[in-house]
Amino acid sequence: MIQEFNCAITKFKINYEIEIEYKYAIISFPNYFEIVNESNYKAFFLLLRGSIESMKKKNIKKIRQYVTNQDWLDVMKNKTSWKIVDICNFEGIPYLVVECDINDALENIGKCFGIDYILKI
């Protein structure tokens, strides 16, 4: 099942591919790089927090994300609680599948974007 969260004002989108049976959801940010910037981080992270809370209500326990090896090395490894759980290919490009506890997701995503202070919103 896919669930999309949108902000009508900012046009931010956050998508989850939900695997109810396995209690995880794969998160993606389809328009993050086109729309999100330092002036609207707070609105983005408010939407993110709301979407994570919605996943918790569905009894989702883990959040997964597809990332490049370079992103893993540059911004995730040793800085967050993300763990590599699989490797896959999309159109011949290798991606790592990383996973974290849903309760750590907001903090982990904030750290990946270099925004530790976002946890105070």
- pTM beyond cutoff 0.95: no
Q: Which of 58, 53, 70, 67 lies closest to 105 in space, CA to CA?
A: 53
Q: Which of 55, 69, 52 lies closest to 107 in space, CA to CA?
A: 52
pLDDT digits (tens, 9 = 90+) for 17-65: 999 999 999 999 987 767 777 777 888 889 999 999 999 999 999 999 9
Top-tier CATH class for 2-120: alpha beta
Domain boundaries, the chain: 2-120
Contact 50, 14 (CB under 8 A): no
pLDDT digits (tens, 9 = 90+) for 28-41: 998 776 777 777 78
